[in-house]
Amino acid sequence: MGIIRGQGKLIKWQDDKGYGFIRPNDGNQEIFLHISSLKNASRRPKVGDTIIYELVTEKNGKSRAAQASIQGVNPRTVSFQQKSIKSKPIKTIFKNVFGIVALIGLAASAFWGSEWSRSRSRSLIPSITKPNCNVKGNISQNTGRKLYHIPGMEDYESTVIDPQSGEKWFCTESEAINNGWQKAPN
Q: Residues 49-70: pLDDT tens digits?
A: 999 999 998 888 888 999 999 9
Is residue 109 included in any domain, yes or no? no
Average pLDDT, the chain: 84
Given a contact cutoff of 8 angstroms between Cβ atoms, the answer to whether 54 and 29 are in contact is: no
What is the distance between the alpha carbons of residues 79 and 73, in angstroms, rounded to a whole number? 18
Domain assignment present for 143:
yes
Domain-terminating residue out of 70, 95, 114: 70
Side by side, which strands form the sheet with 182-183?
Answer: 168-170, 135-139, 146-149, 182-183
Give residue 11's domain range: 4-70
What value does the mean pLDDT take over residues 105-131?
A: 65
SS3 101: helix
Can you give the pLDDT at residue 11? 94
Q: How far is CA 11 from CA 31, 60, 94, 169, in A?
A: 10, 23, 48, 93
Establish if 27 belongs to a structural domain.
yes
CATH number where 47 lies: 2.40.50.140
Tens-place pLDDT, residues 142-170? 899 999 999 999 889 989 999 988 999 99
Domain assignment present for 112? no
Assign 3-state DSSP to the chain and report helix, strand, coil percentages, each to 5. Answer: 30, 30, 40
> Model confidence over 84-96: pLDDT tens digits?
555 667 778 878 8
Inside any domain, residue 141: yes
Picking from 70, 87, 114, the residue at the C-terminal end of a domain is 70
The structural domain count of the chain equals 2
